[in-house]
Amino acid sequence: MSNTGVQVPLADQSVGGKLINIDNGGTLTDICVIDGQKLYRTKTVTTPYDLSKCLMDGLAKVAIEIYGKPDLLALLLSTEYIRYSTTQGTNALVERKGPRLGLVIAGNLSAAAIRGTGGQAELFDVLVGPRVQTLDFALEESALEAATVRAMTALSSAGANRVIVAIGGSGHEVAEARLKRLLLRKFPPHMLGAIPILYSHEIVADVDDVRRTWTSLFNAFLHPAMERFLYNAEHKLRAYRIRNPLLIFRNDGYAARVSKTAAVKTYSSGPRGGAEGARVLSDHYKFPRLLSIDIGGTTTDISLVENGVVRSHRRGLIEGVETSFPLCDVVSSGVGGSSIIRVRDGEIKVGPDSVGGLPGPACFGLGGKEATMTDGFLVSGLLDPATFFGGEMKIDRERAEAAIREAVAGPLGLSTDQAVGAMEDAWVGKVADSIRAYGGVAEDTVLAAFGGAGPFAVCRIAEQVGIDRVFIPGLAPVFSAFGLAFSDIAHEYAAPLHGRDAADVAACREALLERARRGMFAEGAALEECRIDEALTLTDASGEQVIPFSGDVLPAGLPAEARVSLAMTVVKPIAKPRLTSQFGARTGDAKAAGRRRVLLAGAWRDLPLYRVEDLAPGVGAEGPAVLEEAFFTCRIDAGWRFQINDAGDISLVRHPNGAAAR
């Protein structure tokens, strides 16, 4: 089955070139190219040993679809913007693979306050551990200088290869700048073996000392993995003389060039791409509440759009630890198509570890011997070896059966058919449990399912959580990559107000505008081309409050004890697609392309097979049935009916008295 370019109902962007969007996942890398009203998409296996390889391989594949040959030069010279997201930094944190951090603190900060308790303490022990040095700023200059040298020597001897400096208190910016001057004299960065030193006030302007310190720690930990790959990718793309620098999509829904992106903002940026696409769909189709499950090979990423707004945290959480930046409320559960399924203590366990793209599920024939749900769906007949992955990857049913017998059927004393049914029960149950834990299900909730594994058993998942309407985007297999296309270039600047009269506000604003002017110039934009949104952040004993703001006079009645900061979000709009598709009246029944023998509720049944590419807009059909396109397969269970529109978007509705498939 071909994955050639297709006409999609998009408004003409009037762009000077193509838009390329790339989502680099742990198992597969997705690429989506928008050229006017034509869209090309492809997937390639992620190569963890060299991430730039799967990037360039994917671009070469899509160039073949466009030009008939892997003409990267023609593709990249005709491209206006390349937006990119990756989970590699996130994976580094999950796997705890990163630099050994050292921490220098002073002022009112203490290691105990930063370490905290519970999971935060455990994370601190992994990232920093005993590599903490405390300085006394009451010392005279010569004594402070000697103490600082001893502290850095101790951290280096303890194995720290990246150091964060964080000083607590209202004057932390001045104090950290003072320490920076001292350290530059004693440890000049041009010397061999110099250890990178990061200062918390340069990462973010946040009056909460502990939160600012954690944000700096996360940024320092994520930085090396992101830096190595992203700069390598950008250098390879620059060799083709791309028009604009590579743009990195961030968790806040905006994008920026590599050199202007803090590593911490790339955390979970791939799933945010899916959330951004869901936001656009929610607005376009007028869904008041759209709950999304993006199921890939390794994780299920859950997010929610309510009344056109992606649910986010003003102070985003990373592994339960509060950070200074806003982050999308995406929860990742360790269950995907490549999650390892095994038996422990007589029960089936799904994930959280995954075989990824290499070696992959047993059926891939690349050396993997663990059982996965992809193997289960193949053995159940849902997947066809001849059409899987657009016909580009041959999968082996015998290898899948052998893995399932070894890992599940044998230990539980089940037949292969029974083991496959039990695997699906456990897999669907874990996804459903993750949705229930996330929350957000209400009477008007629509469940959007995308990612390569999202549509597989979405009817069962929806039934288990009490949702009667499902939406599968026509671009479901590459939907997170498609979602990147709706981002603009933006940066946020913030600083504390040192007074509350108009002159203080004007001075703070002018300083922020100057930073913004320099920052956007580096993005190739004049400040006059940008939209500027301002807000005040109030912090006191009762918590934090954000207030939209304009003008020079602060609102009346601000708490006298509150610390006030001015924040400025500067946005440079860039080209993005606009949807035009809609669902209309049902135009008739879909015509089946054939039948497929599928294991359903413990019995083998011949189900009608519908190929998405062959269906006319407006047609639909009742389940049970199989719905298949180049890169995804969906089993439509009894009691459900689907309808497709001109964009290939699929609406699934459960009858009020619909019966479950099993």
pLDDT one-digit tens code per residue, 377-434? 999 999 999 888 777 778 899 999 999 999 999 999 999 999 999 999 999 999 999 9
> Can you read off the two tokens belonging to residue 230?
């992203």
Stretch 166-174: mean pLDDT: 91
Tell me the C-alpha to C-alpha distance, in Å, between residue 108 and each of 104, 370, 495. Answer: 12, 51, 20
pLDDT, one tens digit per residue, over 549-564 is 988 889 888 888 888 9
Predicted confidence band of residue 6 (pLDDT cuts 50, 70, 90): low
Distance in angstroms (rounded) separating the CA atoms of residues 21 and 485: 6
Distance in angstroms (rounded) separating the CA atoms of residues 619 and 651: 11
Q: What is the CATH number of domain 97-221?
A: 3.40.50
Superfamily (CATH H level) for 6-93+227-266 = ATPase, nucleotide binding domain (3.30.420.40)
The pLDDT of residue 1 is 33
**DSSP states of 134-145:** E--TTS-HHHHH
226 or 238: which leads in pLDDT: 238
Write down the pTM of the prediction: 0.85
Distance in angstroms (rounded) separating the CA atoms of residues 353 and 167: 38
| Beta-strand pair 132-134/101-106 | parallel
Contacts of 496 (CB under 8 A, 6+ apart): 205, 207, 508, 563, 564, 565, 566
Residue 326 near residue 312 (C-beta atoms within 8 A): yes
The pLDDT of residue 226 is 79
pLDDT, one tens digit per residue, over 341-384 is 999 999 999 988 888 777 889 999 989 999 999 999 999 999 99
The pLDDT of residue 372 is 96
**Range with the lowest mean pLDDT among 91-100, 130-139, 164-173, 495-504?**
91-100
Residue 465 near residue 445 (C-beta atoms within 8 A): no
- Average pLDDT over all residues of the chain: 90
With a cut of 50, say whether residue 317 has pLDDT above it. Answer: yes
The pLDDT of residue 394 is 84
Tell me the angle at which helices 141-157 and 172-186 cross, rounded to the nearest 10 degrees. 70
Distance in angstroms (rounded) separating the CA atoms of residues 39 and 35: 6
Helices (H) and strands (E) in the chain, counts: 17, 35
For the chain, which residues make up each domain, given as ranges? 6-93+227-266, 97-221, 491-572, 588-654
Distance in angstroms (rounded) separating the CA atoms of residues 69 and 573: 33
The pLDDT of residue 8 is 60
213 or 560: which leads in pLDDT: 213
With a cut of 50, say whether residue 128 has pLDDT above it. Answer: yes
With a cut of 50, say whether residue 300 has pLDDT above it. Answer: yes
The pLDDT of residue 661 is 38
With a cut of 50, say whether residue 574 has pLDDT above it. Answer: yes
> Can you read off the two tokens belonging to residue 17?
């070139």
The pLDDT of residue 177 is 94
Predicted confidence band of residue 3 (pLDDT cuts 50, 70, 90): very low
Stretch 436-442: mean pLDDT: 92
551 or 287: which leads in pLDDT: 287
Distance in angstroms (rounded) separating the CA atoms of residues 100 and 160: 5
Stretch 609-632: mean pLDDT: 94
> Can you give 278-315 as a three-state secondary structure string?
HHHHHHHHCCCEEEEEEECCCCEEEEEEECCEECEECC
5 or 445: which leads in pLDDT: 445
Distance in angstroms (rounded) separating the CA atoms of residues 287 and 641: 19
Share of the chain above pLDDT 70, in %: 96
Instruction: Report which residue type is found at 26.
Output: G
The pLDDT of residue 660 is 41
Stretch 225-230: mean pLDDT: 78
With a cut of 80, say whether residue 126 has pLDDT above it. Answer: yes
Distance in angstroms (rounded) separating the CA atoms of residues 353 and 92: 14
With a cut of 70, say whether residue 12 has pLDDT above it. Answer: no
Predicted confidence band of residue 584 (pLDDT cuts 50, 70, 90): confident
The pLDDT of residue 662 is 38
Residue 267 near residue 437 (C-beta atoms within 8 A): no
Share of the chain above pLDDT 90, in %: 64
Taking the mean position of all CA atoms in its chain, how far away is CA 205? Answer: 24
Stretch 198-202: mean pLDDT: 94
pLDDT, one tens digit per residue, over 28-55 is 889 999 998 888 988 888 887 777 888 8
| Backbone φ, ψ for residue 514 (5° rounding) | -65, -40
pLDDT, one tens digit per residue, over 513-546 is 999 999 999 999 999 999 999 999 888 877 788 8
